[in-house]
Chains A and B, each alone.
Chain A
């Protein structure tokens, strides 16, 4: 197993938790609404190829909740500071769900800071005629069941009692998520017209049975970002990097190799 490091880092005036491991070209992983702070098997495997950095966004988990955090663009500016802090010129940027939207926004704002862009089950755009799931109306059981195709995995997650600290973090994460995505729900009306600014090679990753943001979102991204490639995983829900770890990692590493 690759050794990974967990630490609190002060970026500007904000303390964030960061997990990192591996060597090679830097790969920045931006987590989704359920928060970060976990060295997932997918990160472990990616760390065999890259220097993986997985921070927990301001407003989530153990990271600070700064006053300045009001909208998605505040996080875009934060990650500019973050890259400067680590003196990173260009990174492979991978974002899941909320983190995928953030990655797309970052790629639009700082197109020359990316070696590649990978969007996993990312919202951020409005797709006409498609009704996304409403995570804010699902209770915990519905949420977990709807996020995963594999219901045994869902059962396993549901059977684990949340500790008091985990409940606190879950309340914090859900509040920060609402702050960022409530209106308009899960998208930025101005993002589409700006996607032409993205220069980096782009991979779109989707689970075919995603009940939160259906596969039509994947097709929409594929059309909107010039040259983007779409990888769809069968029997997979909203988190391909969790449900289909090996093929997901294979897909990302192959994509990056092909750029070179």
Chain B
């Protein structure tokens, strides 16, 4: 199994009751709550943690893209990947991922990923996402075009990476007379492509068809199993091949301490803040019109739930959305899920929400010494 260290770079200095006034940390939480002086220290702290992960033996380190939110401080993941490029030597740098439809001209992504791939000697993993619903409220992009734009942007990028001659491109959304990127990627034919998702049949099919890596993020294990099984089935029945574990990934917050009780006590405020405050938003933010399929949107409307329900740590652990406990508990769970579900990439989020630097480092060290050696050969 390949092990990755994932960072969201959250803003940890919010008033815990911010949501009483602002409902959500997305879109309209004013940036008067952001302090650039603290931000300077925070970026350097978070980058130190990512660099530390290489030293501790992780196969890769991961950054991601989110906009106008305290949830994550990386509107441009490529900039963070660039900051890591020359400070790391061995680990893969996984950008999970660039939100293609949010780019006015996504050829820029083809160029920047190529730059990073050449700069790092071919250590880049290129994730692609649509961006979450909230981001369509802030970007001038029509959510009803989200999927089509993603597909067209991807076609343009892939062709730009693999073509050795100048070509012209005329899509519905993007056009250029001369596509001819310099530099082109070092990895041949291009960096591995990962598709992070919270789960949709369309995304699973699209990913399986191209044999890219499907990464299920922050979901209960029932969802994880459902979508990874779907991938395997779709690969076999629709596309005629057997999916390999390397094509499947799971992104999950993990927290370790000496005992189960201590791990729960230490993780609780941070995990609960993450799932019940930072990630939470009304359905209207999450699912602007056209972002979901009609069928899914109808189900959302009929469920009549506004904000997602408050989930205490116990529930999140029970669902398998987070893994918290002593090394033996965590290892048992990971081995169990691995044997049941068969993923070849584990993307560990060892810092979340307000978890401070010392606790993050301790968590990382425990993972590296107590868990990592037992998983590498799975």
Interface residues of A (CB under 8 A from B): 136-139, 164, 167-168, 170-172, 174-175, 177-179, 182-184
B298–A139 touching, CB < 8 Å:
no
The contact string, 1 if C-beta is below 8 Å from chain A, for chain B 267-300, is 0000000000000001111001110001001100
B residues within 8 A CB of A183?
Answer: 140-142
Given A171-B301, A174-B289, A136–B137 Cβ distance below 8 Å?
yes
| Partner among A136, A138, A164 whose Cβ is within 8 Å of the Cβ of B289 | A136
B284–A178 touching, CB < 8 Å:
no
In angstroms, Cα B288 to Cα A182, docked, is: 10
B residues within 8 A CB of A178?
Answer: 142-144, 288-290
B residues within 8 A CB of A167?
Answer: 298, 301-302
A172–B137 touching, CB < 8 Å:
no
CB distance from A102 to the nearest CB of B (A): 18
For residue B306, CB closer than 8 A to chain A, the reply is yes
The binding surface of chain B is classed by DSSP as helix
B residues within 8 A CB of A139?
Answer: 282-284, 306
CB distance from B149 to the nearest CB of A (A): 12
Chain B interface size range: 20 to 34
Given A137-B137, A167-B301, A171-B298, A179–B284 Cβ distance below 8 Å?
no
B302–A175 touching, CB < 8 Å:
no
B144–A171 touching, CB < 8 Å:
no
B residues within 8 A CB of A136?
Answer: 137, 284, 288-289
B residues within 8 A CB of A184?
Answer: 140
A175–B283 touching, CB < 8 Å:
no
Interface residues in B90-112 (C-beta closer than 8 Å to A): none
A175–B301 touching, CB < 8 Å:
no
With both beta carbons as reference points, the residue of chain B lying nearest to A140 in the complex is identified as B301
A179–B298 touching, CB < 8 Å:
no
In angstroms, Cα B268 to Cα A104, docked, is: 57
CB distance from B197 to the nearest CB of A (A): 21
4 additional contacts (CB under 8 A) given A136-B289, A137-B282, A167-B298: A167-B301, A168-B294, A182-B136, A184-B140
The contact string, 1 if C-beta is below 8 Å from chain A, for chain B 136-158, is 11001111110000000000000
Central interface residue in A139, A167, A182, A184, by most chain B CB within 10 Å: A182
With both beta carbons as reference points, the residue of chain B lying nearest to A177 in the complex is identified as B289
In angstroms, Cα B302 to Cα A168, docked, is: 10
Central interface residue in B140, B143, B284, B298, by most chain A CB within 10 Å: B284
With both beta carbons as reference points, the residue of chain A lying nearest to B139 in the complex is identified as A183
With both beta carbons as reference points, the residue of chain B lying nearest to A137 in the complex is identified as B284
In angstroms, Cα B291 to Cα A182, docked, is: 12
B residues within 8 A CB of A172?
Answer: 294
CB distance from A172 to the nearest CB of B (A): 7
In angstroms, Cα B136 to Cα A175, docked, is: 14
With both beta carbons as reference points, the residue of chain B lying nearest to A174 in the complex is identified as B289
CB distance from A23 to the nearest CB of B (A): 39
CB distance from A143 to the nearest CB of B (A): 9
Interface residues in B293-341 (C-beta closer than 8 Å to A): 294, 297-298, 301-302, 306
B144–A182 touching, CB < 8 Å:
yes
In angstroms, Cα B228 to Cα A174, docked, is: 32
CB distance from B212 to the nearest CB of A (A): 28
B144–A179 touching, CB < 8 Å:
yes
The contact string, 1 if C-beta is below 8 Å from chain A, for chain B 117-147, is 0000000000000000000110011111100
A residues within 8 A CB of B298?
Answer: 167-168, 171
In angstroms, Cα B289 to Cα A177, docked, is: 9
CB distance from A179 to the nearest CB of B (A): 5
In angstroms, Cα B283 to Cα A138, docked, is: 10
Task: List the 8 closest A-B pairs by CB distance, nearest first.
Answer: A178-B289, A182-B142, A174-B289, A175-B289, A179-B144, A183-B140, A175-B290, A171-B297
In angstroms, Cα B144 to Cα A177, docked, is: 10
B142–A175 touching, CB < 8 Å:
no
CB distance from A162 to the nearest CB of B (A): 8
20 sampled A-B residue pairs with Cβ under 8 A: A136-B137, A136-B284, A136-B288, A136-B289, A137-B285, A138-B284, A139-B306, A167-B298, A167-B302, A171-B297, A172-B294, A175-B297, A178-B143, A178-B289, A178-B290, A179-B290, A182-B136, A182-B142, A183-B141, A183-B142
